[in-house]
A and B are shown apart, each in its own frame.
Chain A
């Protein structure tokens, strides 16, 4: 038995990769769906912030991520865009990450053009595209959006868009939503848009960065947060339309169970095989 555990301690880690791949692939291929998620208070706060805005209010949505964080943030930005469209909010879109801008275009096609064909570009929503400059862009937008974005993503002068004639400054937005994969992202919006101009900020982040936002939530500087795929899945439940995040959560739960199992087996094997001395392989 001791020899078996000793062998287990030297297992090729590629078997673990294979097991993980099989569990995740198997969960996606199977029709197993775990029960509906419990909605956390932070997600509820963010949902309520958007839900309570009167129809016609302007909101700014910032796609501050790129395809590297797509599995976690793309479902969330889709669910929040759908929510805004249902509530007849006016959505100004932009991004601080150049590689993320095509994702805005894709989401306009998948959410707005497909399910809300009556919404008109330039009247109900606008895509300003990418601008470098990070916090300088935010401060400039608070003075005048046109100064930061003379043209939209399609090189159309923003003056010619009715929505941007109404929303001339960031201060005209009732909330800012950032889908944040790092910096520039939520932290920058909190530091500049909330602290300087008191515009409510909410949004989602990758699971890696979720713990660092706890302090901003606790201090009331961040009005709700969706952390990782789970946060996105909870928002999908609130919006009432299950998407990629909800589907992925079954695989997520099974993968976590597998990791816990590996940790238990690893510890049992470690103690059963006898502790190794320092420096011993």
Chain B
């Protein structure tokens, strides 16, 4: 009778244990990895509804109009944001005007809710204006930090990803109810803009 072959499991277990016990630096704090400013910029965008929501509205609007519109917004908005941000880096700090912030919510949310049949040229202009304005505001706020340009890159990257995801999601929607749900999101954004406008008047 052939002797049983010894199991390799203990060897594998030892290798796995050794690998698990190998304590490489965790580098949980991203400033030690060189990713810190990029992460900061990315998170700043994701945690700032005043930036995030208008971009989302524009992406949904472009997606409703079709793939060509989505592609245009996908490239124009981040580039404009970057240019505005670079211009803002060397400018004095500026605060967003509450009326203009409310206006972006109202305009983009209203256009989305109305399923406005905008031309590609108008969509491009809207994307450029939104990017330049918000990028400039971001740039002025970041100008005090040495790593501001890198953070701006992270922020622009986040804008690109959001537009890509949101526009692509809407472009493929065919069911009428799904497109109406997207328009409802626009009405919510516009309604938020109305309330922000009321607030701006109240605190003026």
The answer to whether A binds B is no
Residues on A facing B (Cβ under 8 Å) = none
Residues on B facing A (Cβ under 8 Å) = none
